[in-house]
Structure 1
Amino acid sequence: MPVAYTIQPTYAIDDASLLETDLTTCTLLVLIGAGTFSYAVMSPLHRKFLALKSYSYQPKTVAMADLEMIEQIFDADKLLFTAFKQVLLAFDSPDNTLVPEKHFQPHLKKDYLRAVLPEKLHEAVLTDMLPDLGLVNVFAVDKDTLGFLRKEFSTDSVIHAHSALLKAYQGDRDIHQSEGLAFIEVAPQQFTLTIYAAGKLQMQQQYIYRSGLDIVYYIVNSLRQLGFAEQQARIKLGGAVTQDSQVYQELNRFLPRLEWVHKPDGYLYIPRMNELPPHHFHNLYALALCV
């Protein structure tokens, strides 16, 4: 007989302002990753983040097992049943590719994706238009998970997490430097590497890693292939990393111009959010740029 248990959040951040706010005027930003489910509540009127929760569970090889964990989160977290004014779903997965907008044809979206990635069972192929970059982000998500979340939230607003990161990076004050600027967004077991030079996107790719040295290898190799020296390029780090972690220590050992990313400017954050390191939940906060 299976053991029933209640899944608990890894982070749960809010204050009295959440109870004092009419949540039907608010936006819910939801980020779904490999073994992670996070969300933030934001007041569009005040451009203020009011709450944040993040759940982690053991990644499964079968997509339905991930869906079952998400269903357990819904059973445990009644805030998700609030009738928010708007809900945005974002999927953080490696199943995506960037296509130049001038060459993009909607009826070929699956072909663009299959040119670089193998087809998976029960997938839905979606697109994000990125006119500021002249690109289209083509991505695939599990059809059952997407259907469940669309039904529960009554929303058709779905994006890829990398699209939000690109919007956040475009606003970085250092993006126009010529010696190379690399952004790293670290999640459990995977990270996203995005490289710019003179304000132009050079590459964006998600990789699997086991140690900080794996991340160092991918960064150094990518920079060198693009003609940049890792000793000169600036590296901005975000995600679930602390200064005393093995990942940070390895990166700091080989990459001398390492620094942290910061939460998106132009928004207010409750005090408990400001107590966290500014690079934590950068990818979740970045979703606000897409609504």
Structure 2
Amino acid sequence: MQVLKPNISLIDDAFKVNEVENNRLFISISFNGISYSIINNANNQFFVLESYSFQKQETLFQLCENISQISKENPILKQGFNDVTILIQNHKSTLIPNSLFDESNKKQYFEFNQIIENAEDILVDQLANIKAVNLFAINQSLLQNLKNNFPKAKIIHSSTALIESLFIINKTKSAIEEVYLNIQSNYFEIIYFKDSKLQLNNNFNYKTAEDFAYYLLFAFEQLQIKPDEIKVTLLGEIEKDSAIYEYLFKYIMNIEFISRNEKFNYSEKIQSLPSHYFYLLLNSATCV
């Protein structure tokens, strides 16, 4: 069994590991890693954030093994939280307007845009702000593993939290249209709002910065978005000195990194992170 240690560990000195009653736990799960954050309900402050990055993209079996090992060995996670939300990060989701949705037909809806693999279940998230549901697939073994290790957890798709939280931010802005890019190590998600309405949510795998630029400009072309006019806000794993940022700066005139959500408070250690890092973990509390 491999030794799993967090590559990022930000734990406030005042945090008491055995006092979980007033805390909410958020966990992000992907084949590339596991991260979690904790917010205190009394003062609305995030004071724990840890992240485990796997050296390679894990198999389903190894991912389940890693989840079980971390949940049992991490002194914080094994405390047994009552309020837990798990965010599933994969590319297998699709949005359906409430007006068209019939849960008895969820498999057929999903198969319009996605392929259902053997041993996958289709789960349903409600997106109140955009009056839609998000259907997503999860392997049955992974789902059972999460239920065993976190029996009180609510399991949702990462794009559900992303769309809902960005909608709340976007509706308070004066911009007529804006694109948000959630950039991860091997894929990115594009969310496009126009007149405070969601126009697009899609994701693309990429291996190189050239791939990234191609898919982004292709999406802009399909939506008739002018790169030199649209505002683009960045979140996720991206730095100004990266090749991806250089491409963005080359084609897009108005770029900024997303600001930290002022609705919440943050420990000094978490504030040391760039504001756009771990956006999902530090904003899912707005909509769950």
Greater mean deviation of Cα atoms: 96-105 or 207-216: 207-216
Report what 1:14 is aligned to. Answer: 11
Report the AA paired with residue 177 of structure 1.
A
Per the TM alignment, residue 175 of structure 1 is displaced from its structure 2 partner at its CA by: 5.0
Contact 1:24–1:83 under 8 Å retained in 2: no
Tell me which residue corresponds to 2:103.
106
Cα distance per residue 1:81-135 (max 9 Å; x no partner): 1122301111011100000110000011111111111111221211111122011
Per-residue CA distance 1:119-166 (angstroms, 9 max, x = gap): 112212111111220111010112111211112111241111111111
In structure 2, do the counterparts of structure 1 residues 104 and 248 end up closer, same or farther at CA, with 3 Å as the change threshold? same
Q: CA RMSD in A?
A: 1.7
- The yes-or-no answer on 1:163 pairing with 2:169 is no
1:139: which partner in 2?
136
State TM-score, norm by structure 2: 0.94
Instruction: Report the CA distance between 1:257 and its aligned residue.
Output: 1.0
CA distance in 2, matches of 1:217, 1:176: 29
**Correspondences of 1:245-256 after superposition (within 5 Å):** 245-256=242-253
CA contact (8 A) 1:7 1:73 kept: yes
Q: Report what 1:194 is aligned to.
A: 191
1:118 and 1:20 map into 2 onto residues whose CA distance is 42
- Secondary structure of residue in 1 paired with 2:169: coil
Distance 2:194 2:180 in 1: 12
Which AA in structure 2 matches 1:98?
A: L
Runs (4+) off by over 6 Å? none
Between 12-21 and 262-271, the greater mean CA deviation after superposition = 12-21
Instruction: Return the letter of the residue paired with 2:48.
Output: A
| Equivalent residue, structure 2, for 1:29 | 26
Where structure 1 has 5 or more consecutive residues not aligned to the other structure, the ranges are none
Which whole-Å CA distance do the structure 1 matches of 2:18 and 2:78 have between them?
16
- How many Å separate the matches in 2 of 1:210 and 1:144? 28
Count of matched residue positions in the alignment of Structure 1 and Structure 2: 286
Which piece of structure 1 moves more, 265-274 or 72-81? 72-81
Shift of 1:21: 7.7
In structure 2, runs of 5+ residues without a counterpart are none
Aligned pairs (5 A) from 1:215-234: 215-234=212-231
Question: How much has 1:19 moved relative to structure 2?
Answer: 2.2
Give the Cα separation in 2 of the matches to 1:22 and 1:71: 22
Which residue among 33, 50, 54 is the counterpart of 2:51?
54
1:15 to partner: Cα distance: 1.6
CA drift at 1:22: 2.2
Q: Does the Cα contact within 8 Å between 2:17 and 2:79 map onto a contact in 1? A: no
Q: What secondary structure is seen at the aligned counterpart in 1 of 2:234?
A: strand
Q: Which amino acid aligns with 2:9?
A: A
Cα drift, residue 210 of structure 1: 1.1
Q: Describe the shift of the 1:74–1:175 C-alpha distance in structure 2 as closer, same or farther (beyond 3 A).
A: same
| Residue type at the aligned position of 2:249 | N
Output the amino acid matched with 2:118. L
Matches of 2:210 and 2:233, distance apart in 1:
17
% identity of equivalent residues: 23
- Write the letter of the residue equivalent to 1:284: L
